Amino acid sequence: MQPIQIQIPTSFAQTPSLSGIRKIGLAILLVGIAVFLLGATGAFAASPLMYSVFSFGMVLLGAFTYIVPLVREHSAGIQNTGIMFSKASHRGAVAWLIGVGMTGFYVLLYWFPEYLTHCIASVNWLSFALKGKAADQWFLYGTIYTLAVLVMGVRMIIKYRHSKYQIVRTLSVMFFQLVFAYLIPSFLALMHQPDFYFTYFWPLKFDYLNPFTVRYYLASPNHLMVFMIFWGFMMTLVATPVLTYFFGKRWYCSWVCGCGGLAETLGDPFRQNSDKSLRAWKIERWMIHSVLVFAVVTTALLWLNSSMQGAILGEASGMFAKAYGFLIGSVFSGVVGTGFYPIMGSRVWCRFGCPQAAILGVLQKYFSRFRITTNGDQCISCGNCSTYCEMGIDVRAYAQRGENIVRASCVGCGVCSAVCPRGVLSLENGPAQGKTRF
């Protein structure tokens, strides 16, 4: 018996060619990145401002020249042609190169910032304008992070311009990143106030419920510092369960969170790379809930140790906090969570490691009104929904059975609904219990 051979039409196996203007934009973008990397060696140490304006300016000009023509060249809606054959979007050589580059940047940022000295100096002018002091590696990172969300947010809006939900949601994450995660912390520094991010709270921002932090802030005569602790407690203990009950975890993971904002914008070209296998789902559940247990136990031990004047842990109490910060805050959320976008999809951290997502997921699955309803009779099994699910959910399997999707991991991004050609999927709020939920 001869084996059956399936020939894939060449038109499907090739990615769409770039127009002339987009090729120019890509070239300008790459030149800007090259100038930025060259500047890290000190080649422009004598003119840091010129280095900053030229490198960042070239990157922004190239990015927008590459992105904006999509409005004219592509009709509204999802374009699937060649996405699984692209060397950039589907684990090809370009994707690996991007992943290695992003991972290398995070390694330098966290552990070898001395190699970024000239890059940091290039944004001193902006740091003095916003914070009143010289830049450090975190200001450089925050600037690059925010620009990535804003620029790729424009791409996201153009790509999903047929969906009002996607437009508003993208504008939301762009706003919260720019204002709450970048400008407000900079303004606090300018006013000589402590560093604080109002869109992050325990357990994602582990330090905000650290007994040493809480007692130091509460003992301060600064009323703003007292309010910061009050804000953290209210968001963790009140706002999180209440908002999740009404809207599911999407209110935070897809509308507010900076990690989710980067995943939804910069990570969007790689969302189809998430593993949809049952094995990946099992690993996901074990890993994310293990991180949550680690955060809860560590926090409880620190509070117990503090209440007993250090009788339990002694000087080792600081080691617990540092271990969490290193393993979870640096290695997992930064190096792996973002650097692996091109290989494992855009929600590696959110799916496998974020303790905030774990808590929101439990609340969403058992105590929330949110669900994605399906109309199985209309499903044509095209697989778009499963392909584009960044959380690795096999959405098509639910749609084929006509089952509503109530998964702890679902971040409610709504892309599955946006790419469905038959309107099978709908994001809804309904009764928190009962057969209509499931």
Distance CA 146, CA 151 (A): 9
Query: Does residue 423 form part of some domain?
Result: yes
Q: What is the mean pLDDT of residues 50-70?
A: 95
CA 204 to each of CA 200, 336, 392: distance values in angstroms, whole numbers, following the listed order: 6, 16, 22
Task: Tell me the DSSP string of 72-121.
Answer: HHS-SS---TTTTT-TTTSSSHHHHHHHHHHHHHHHHHHH-GGGGHHHHH
Of 150-154, 223-227, 324-328, least confident by mean pLDDT is 324-328
Q: What is the pLDDT of residues 275-304, one digit of tens each?
A: 999 999 999 999 999 999 988 888 888 888
Fill in the DSSP letter of residue 390. T
Highest-pLDDT range among 64-78, 85-99, 216-230, 251-265: 251-265
Whether 88 and 269 have beta carbons less than 8 Å apart is answered as yes
Query: Does residue 13 form part of some domain?
Result: no
Q: What is the pLDDT of residues 25-43, one digit of tens each?
A: 999 999 999 999 999 998 9
Whether 264 and 170 have beta carbons less than 8 Å apart is answered as yes
Q: What is the pLDDT of residues 213-235, one digit of tens each?
A: 888 888 888 888 889 999 999 99
User: How high is the pLDDT of residue 150?
Assistant: 97
Distance CA 147, CA 135 (A): 16
Q: What is the mean pLDDT of residues 49-57?
A: 94
User: How high is the pLDDT of residue 436?
Assistant: 53
Whether 2 shows a pLDDT value over 60: the answer reads no
Q: What is the mean pLDDT of residues 385-400?
A: 92
Whether 430 shows a pLDDT value over 80: the answer reads no
Query: Does residue 34 form part of some domain?
Result: no
Query: Does residue 385 form part of some domain?
Result: yes
Query: Does residue 381 form part of some domain?
Result: yes
- pTM for this structure? 0.90
User: How high is the pLDDT of residue 312?
Assistant: 67
Query: Does residue 419 form part of some domain?
Result: yes
Distance CA 364, CA 373 (A): 15
Query: Does residue 162 form part of some domain?
Result: no
Range of the domain at 391: 369-429
Q: What is the pLDDT of residues 335-391, one digit of tens each?
A: 778 888 999 989 999 999 999 999 999 999 999 999 999 987 889 998 899 999 999
Residue 408 sits in a domain of what CATH number? 3.30.70.20
Query: Does residue 414 form part of some domain?
Result: yes
Distance CA 327, CA 308 (A): 27
User: How high is the pLDDT of residue 144?
Assistant: 96
Give me the number of domains the chain comprises. Answer: 1
User: How high is the pLDDT of residue 318?
Assistant: 63
Whether 369 and 406 have beta carbons less than 8 Å apart is answered as no
Q: What is the mean pLDDT of residues 170-199?
A: 94
